[in-house]
Amino acid sequence: EDKESKGYATLLQWYNLYYDASKTSLIGGQRTTARVGCVQWQMRPVKSVADVLQQVEYFVDALSDYQCDAALFPEFFNAPLMGLETHKTSLDAIKDLASYTSEIVDAISKMAVSYNINIIAGSMPVIEDSQLYNVAYLCRRDGTIDTQYKIHPTPSEKREWIMQGGDQLKVFDTDFGKIGILICYDSEFPELARLLSEEDMQILFVPFWTDTKTGYLRVKYCAQARAIENECYVAIAGSVGNLPKVDNAVIQYAQSAVFSPSDFAFPHDAIMAETTPNTEMTLIVDLDLEKLKKLQNEGSVRNYLDRRRDLYKIKWLGR
């Protein structure tokens, strides 16, 4: 059969006895695994910003001890601060909450450096040019900070808080891979995750805040769909408990989880792990990023490769 060399060609294969696949290069080298931690946060009355930060640091410390690369907090995890004072309207309460955002972000950024862990600090309200926005913060362990604005405020956010939507969508480079952040309702719009996927996002983080199981299931099922469509991991984290003195934030329902694509290399139900519903706890999951590459090229189905870009496309028109 070997016509070109007329049977003289020889294949030599050398095995490096000292090669250890578990060890990576000290300098350079691409990460192939990531350990992420989700915080299922309990809403409880507090007396000060220090109380909130104390609870944040408790979870950051715990996840850092388990050598997590990233910690994900829920959307509006700082909502208990709206109960510090009596407000005439929920709009006054959320504006007051926005006044604490800068202080909290600064403190969490310092925690990220001190505890050597990247922190997706849920989301917090921000006032810019007299407009309210819902903003997620990525506090890296090298001290840098990035933001992702919520693109689609919910009808309730628009009605009660006159919340505005952002106009930017980003993929963030981290020391454990490329990630995206979509706040709660944004995960229910497949176009956003698709745009992030086209920029090689590996893990999508979804901080959410839902009050009922029906609302939670919308986030859960859409997050699972995003993982399958875009061949990526999706981590979601929400809040539990209650805030009886805070208007528009009385009850919570959550079951935080990490989802995977659906194929033989992943769990049979495409759920890497999930928390006990409505219980304050953490979820720690190891993610194999190399599997995503193999899935893209060798999976049972290949959404990325088989996409008919000659027939349709999604284009970002914002900034």
**Which one of the listed residues 68, 75, 220, 232 is annotated catalytic?**
75
| DSSP tag of 139 | E
DSSP 74: P
Specify whether 68 is catalytic.
no
Q: Can you spell out the DSSP letters for 97-137? A: HHTTHHHHHHHHHHHHHHTT-EEEEEEEEEEETTEEEEEEE
232 part of the active site: no
In sequence order, what are the residues at sequence separation of 6 or more whose Cβ sits closer than 8 angstroms to the Cβ of residue 28? none
CA proximity to 265, closest of 236, 235, 288 = 288
C-alpha pair distances (Å), 35 with each of 21, 63, 91, 230, 231: 18, 10, 38, 20, 18
Q: Which of 38, 184, 222, 232 is catalytic?
A: 184
What is the helix (H) or strand (E) element at residue 218, kind and residue range?
helix 213-230
150 carries an active-site annotation: yes
| Residue found under tokens 């955002």 | 101
Q: Where are the alpha helices (DSSP H) in 6-78?
A: 49-65
Catalytic residue, from 68, 139, 150, 231: name it.
150
Whether 224 contacts 261, CB under 8 Å = no
As annotated, the active-site residues are 75, 150, 184
